[in-house]
A = this chain, B = another copy of it.
Amino acid sequence: MSTSERLIESTRELLWERGYVGTSPKAILERAGAGQGSMYHHFKGKPDLALAAIRRTAEEMRAAAGKVLDGPGSAYERIEAYLRRERDVLRGCPVGRLTMDPDVVASDELRAPVDETLDWLRERIAGIVEEGKERGEFAPSLDGEEIAAAVVATVQGGYVLARASRSPAAFDAGVRGLLSLLAPRGRHAA
């Protein structure tokens, strides 16, 4: 792996573990096994390197979510597959966690890939809810964008509950709760 690659990958790991504020250039260089000069050779500084790292993490998240959301099955089944997809629950979301970072939220440039990814996710799920309404899976009164926001929020907030209790059980409970509310009418009474 090239030095530039090692710097990006180390930054991604540290941003996930410790956030932007908690990640020093020194820690990145140590983890990457790189000298001080190499960061400034390849990147303008910590914000520039972090932007490359955040963009890559966002792309990966989008690809992984897209895979289950574009998969086979009914609208309900695809949303279920998204909610139940395997996750490293106790590590939290590498994209969503950045919203708790004051320096990321304060920077339009660093915040952009975070916002765009969560926005893309909500729009994708909203489209699936609308499909489900057309097929009669969901009540016509439901609003696709609102349900999508609730789905994404349940996942992001599920990480909060899981990390607070250091157990994935709370994440799973929230997902099951939302699915029981979203389940097509026939299943509800089952």
A148:B177 contact, CB within 8 angstroms: yes
Query: Cα distance A176–B99 when bound, in Å?
Result: 22
Known: A99-B159, A153-B156. 13 other contacts (CB 8 A): A19-B19, A93-B160, A114-B164, A118-B161, A118-B170, A141-B189, A146-B180, A152-B161, A153-B155, A154-B154, A155-B157, A156-B157, A157-B160
Indicate whether A100 reaches chain B with its CB closer than 8 angstroms.
Answer: yes
* Residue interface mask A150-188, B partner, CB < 8 A = 1: 111111111111011110001101111110111000001
Total copies of this chain within the assembly: 2
Residues of A within 8 A of B (CB): 17-19, 21-22, 92-93, 96-97, 99-102, 105, 111, 114-115, 118-119, 122, 139, 141-143, 145-161, 163-166, 170-171, 173-178, 180-182, 188-190
CB-defined A-B contacts under 8 Å, sample of 30: A17-B102, A18-B21, A19-B21, A19-B100, A19-B101, A21-B21, A97-B100, A99-B164, A100-B163, A105-B163, A114-B164, A118-B170, A119-B164, A141-B188, A142-B181, A143-B176, A145-B173, A146-B177, A148-B177, A149-B173, A150-B174, A150-B181, A152-B161, A152-B174, A153-B155, A153-B157, A153-B160, A153-B178, A154-B154, A157-B159
A122 contact set on B, CB distance < 8 A = 161, 170
